[in-house]
Amino acid sequence: MATYIPVVKAILSANDMAAAENRTAFDAAGLLVVNLMSSPGAGKTSLILATLERLSPSLRVGVIEGDIASTIDAERIAARNVPVVQINTGGACHLDAPMVRSALSHLSLPDLDLLFIENVGNLICPAEFDLGAHLRVVIASVPEGHDKPYKYPGMFQKADAVVLNKADLMPYIDFDLSAFRHGLSILRPGIPLFLLSCRTGQGVDEWVGWLTAQLEARRGDHGR
């Protein structure tokens, strides 16, 4: 005899529980954690490097690098004397909360003010997997085209800020900035958008200013 059993369970509830544990660990250590997501090649590692150059030197930064394979990105970060942990997902196209949890054992959280988690380059799955980060930042880039918010709404729906990298290429590419902005505004009204170029440095200060303000707000909350 067949029986009908109601379940009504979010399929990623196990991941979400691990993410909540990560967030508790981050909060206990009092640091701000940022999940950086983008398609491959949009400039996640470049943004981290450009940010490190301009952030106040008194801030202690750590990085978790997620890649399907290789340690290329981690080596670029380590060259700046920043503590970095590489996660190789071995084929998985995104990081999940348990992967981040195992990476945390290689970092001393109380010795950090800011932790970047660089997700695997992909505009689909990383949106679904909460890592326990406080902020989700999506990096788009001019050569990808202005239609990304329309095609990958799930990614932008959950973002706290969007960086549009490679802005120096704008004159050479048919990128409709107002269409891009509009796509963001119908999904996330009022979301901060930073036009910048990691290559030329234009616009990076505005992004770093916003990030620093987020850090200060977080510390204010934490101190209360």
Partner 1 sequence: MHELAITQAILSVVLEAAEAAGARRVTAVGLTVGALTSYVDDSIRFYFELLSKGTLAEGALLRIRREPGEGRCQTCGGTFLVEPPLLPACPLCGSFDIQIEGGNRCLVECIEVEDGDLHPGGEGYP
Phi and psi dihedrals of 77, rounded to 5? -75, -45
Using DSSP's 3-state secondary structure scheme, residue 164 falls into strand
Which residue, 146 or 166, is less far from partner 1 as judged by CB? 146
β-pairing, 84-88 vs 161-165, is unpaired
The interface region with partner 1, picked from 31-39, 79-87, 185-193, 209-217 by CB under 8 A, is 185-193
Contacts with partner 1 by CB under 8 A: the residue count is 41
- Which listed residue (70, 108, 110, 151) binds partner 1 by CB under 8 A? 151
CA distance 149 to 96: 23
The type of residue at 17 is: M
- DSSP readout, 19-42? HHHHHHHHHHHT-EEEEEEESTTS
Q: How many residues does the chain have?
A: 224
Tell whether residue 160 is a contact of partner 1 (CB under 8 A).
no
To partner 1, the closest distance from the beta carbon of 178 in angstroms equals: 10
Tell whether residue 182 is a contact of partner 1 (CB under 8 A).
yes
Site for partner 1 in 111-130 (CB under 8 A): 122-125, 127-129
The type of residue at 193 is: L
Burial category of 79 from C-beta neighbours within 10 Å (exposed 0-12, middle 13-18, buried 19 and up): exposed
Which residue, 185 or 200, is less far from partner 1 as judged by CB? 185
Which residue, 24 or 185, is less far from partner 1 as judged by CB? 185
To partner 1, the closest distance from the beta carbon of 223 in angstroms equals: 34
CA 195 to chain centre: 16
Tell whether residue 189 is a contact of partner 1 (CB under 8 A).
yes
Q: Which residue from 122, 126, 206, 216 is spatially nearest to 164, judged by alpha carbons? A: 206
Binding mask 7-26 for partner 1 (x = CB under 8 A): xxxxxxxxx-----------
Please report, as ranges, the residues that interact with partner 1 according to CB under 8 A.
1-15, 92-94, 96, 122-125, 127-129, 147, 149-154, 157-158, 179, 182-183, 186-187, 189
